[in-house]
Structure 1
Amino acid sequence: MKLLLVRHGETFANDAQRWSGSQDLEITNLTENGIEQAKKLATWFKKNNFIPTHIYVSPQKRALDTFHLAGDHWNIKPNIINELKETSAGNFEGHTWDEIEELFPQEADGFRFTRNWDVVTGAETELERRNRGVKILDIALNHTSKEDIVIMFCHASIIGNIVAAILETPKLWGIRTRNTAIFEFEIEPEKWNDTSREKNNLTLWRILRFNETPHLENEDKDLSNLGSQI
């Protein structure tokens, strides 16, 4: 099975450095640049004759819009699942970091160095995020065979948790996920839970792409100030 994770195109919140999350707000709609990113992704899919067998999409507008712009030409009905929604940022959603420090100083202090979402009112807990990443991987593994190609259109933070589930790491890695970036993995579903020496067989699980945007001309955009959920 090939599993591709695709982040949505640029939103007004991304451009303004405002935290996004599980809500659909006016500022979380795609910008003109985000629309162009998704259209370029469609062109890249066509150029490479990429056609998935299974499509899963977050129900949030920015992910749905990205899917329609990038994948409507497949004429394949997507599976829209809540599991792919962005993780909730609670009180932080819709705000810049400066606004968060002013409005929620105690939570900002608790979050600044630990990045522990458990201290943010209304946010999805660390355990809930991790469990959701595992559940999404299970959905892909349990509904596919070796020859299938699965693509999921979703969001930066949940992608990080899915990647952690795929790599079976207890750590959540800081990934500066680009808008419309592609993560591509090759996994042997039938062997995934094999506890024999097969787990070390490098031909059964491979990383083919990781946070790549081959469809965009400018891949060197400075991402140093982007948060994983902005």
Structure 2
Amino acid sequence: MTVLKLLLVRHGQSVGNTEGRMEGCSSTGLTPLGMEQSQRLGQHLATTGWHPTHIYCSPLARSTATLAEIVKGLGKEAFQAANEPNSATHAAIAGTPHATTLASDQTVPVTLLDDLKEYDAGIFTGLTWAEACDRYPDLCHQLETNLDWQPIPQAETLEQGHNRAQRVVDGLIERHCNGDRVLVIGHHWILQHAIACLMGCDRAWGLPMANTALFEFWLDRDRWLQPGLNRLNSELWRIKRFNATAHLHHPREC
């Protein structure tokens, strides 16, 4: 059966990750390890024959840099990517075409999607937890002593973030069909919510997620919106890989 394949990927290790920063909607670049992780992922995809037909990527630097390295791993040294004209992000990568060309000379459309950005952490953006505690001791104490959600000044709400993830999933389903292979590059928090949306959960689950971890879903796009018992038919909805990191642990196989 021909299916729609969705491959969700967290970005490679960023400088902010190593410093323990709450990067949110800000961004640092990749570390040398993050670049290696991303290239290994591209090599792994090439080796296993998983060539994307469409790519969606967060416009933040740590994600676009991950895409650039994945493309190198797939066999194309020059990264050429930009948002589509109707994307919410404009001129994120100025002066470049709206596609990337892989080693097979296959031209793949790339969309930089604002809804794939990480959680907007408001006043915590770019800070380490120690820095946040120093600047906002009362708020941080409340957050450390009470697990109930509490608003952070200037940050988006959990509902706003979850709605972004739902828009991502709805857009992928609406725009693509069986036979498409869609690569999605995003961030830990937003991908947790996108996965919850794909799986029809009414809550978001905390998932440990290594840099460049893979989540692959196969679904019958033609039956996705149909009511009835097929929603319970596991032949039509399959999780092929969940939090997979084999490309990191077995580089020779890449």
Partner deviation per Cα, 1:68-123 (whole Å, 9 max, x = no partner): 1102532423111111111111111221212212211232233334262x511111
Q: Secondary structure at the match of 1:76?
A: strand
Counterparts in 2 of 1:43 and 1:31: CA distance versus 1, 3 Å: same
Aligned to 1:202: 234
1:224 aligned residue: none
Q: Which residue of 1 aligns with 2:66?
A: 66
State the superposition RMSD in angstroms.
Answer: 1.7
Counterpart CA distance in 1 for 2:204 and 2:142 is 18
List aligned pairs for 1:108-123, cutoff 5 A.
Answer: 108-112=140-144, 113-114=146-147, 116=149, 118-123=150-155
Q: Distance in 2 between matches of 1:150 and 1:115?
A: 36
When Rg is computed on C-alpha atoms for both structures, the one with the higher figure is 2
Cα distance, 1:190 vs structure 2? 2.2
Q: Deviations over 1:35-62 (max 9, x none)?
A: 1111111111111111111111111111
Structure 2 residue 155 is the aligned partner of structure 1 residue 152: no
The 5-angstrom pairing of residues 45-124 of structure 1 reads 45-71=45-71, 73=76, 74=102, 75-112=107-144, 113-114=146-147, 116=149, 118-124=150-156
Moved over 6 A (4+): none
For residue 34 of structure 2, what is the aligned residue in structure 1?
Answer: 34
Does structure 1 residue 191 correspond to structure 2 residue 223? yes
- Residue of structure 2 in register with 1:142 after alignment: 174
Whole-angstrom distance in 2 between the partners of 1:56 and 1:142? 14
Secondary structure, aligned partner of 1:59: coil
Gaps of 5+ in 2: 77-101
Distance in 1, matches of 2:136 and 2:196, equals 29
Instruction: Structure 1: give runs of 5+ residues left out of the alignment.
Output: 220-230
- The count of corresponding residues between Structure 1 and Structure 2 is 215
Separation in 1 of the partners of 2:152 and 2:222? 39
State the identity %: 32
Instruction: Tell me, yes or no, if the aligned pair for 1:5 and 1:151 is still in contact at 8 Å.
Output: yes
CA distance in 1, matches of 2:216, 2:46: 17
Partner of 1:21: 24
- Which residue identity lines up with residue 54 of structure 1 in the other structure? H
Residue identity in the other structure for 2:16: A
Quick one: distance in 1 between partners of 2:65 and 2:6? 20
Q: Which amino acid aligns with 1:20?
A: E
The DSSP-based 3-state class of the residue aligned with 1:69 is helix
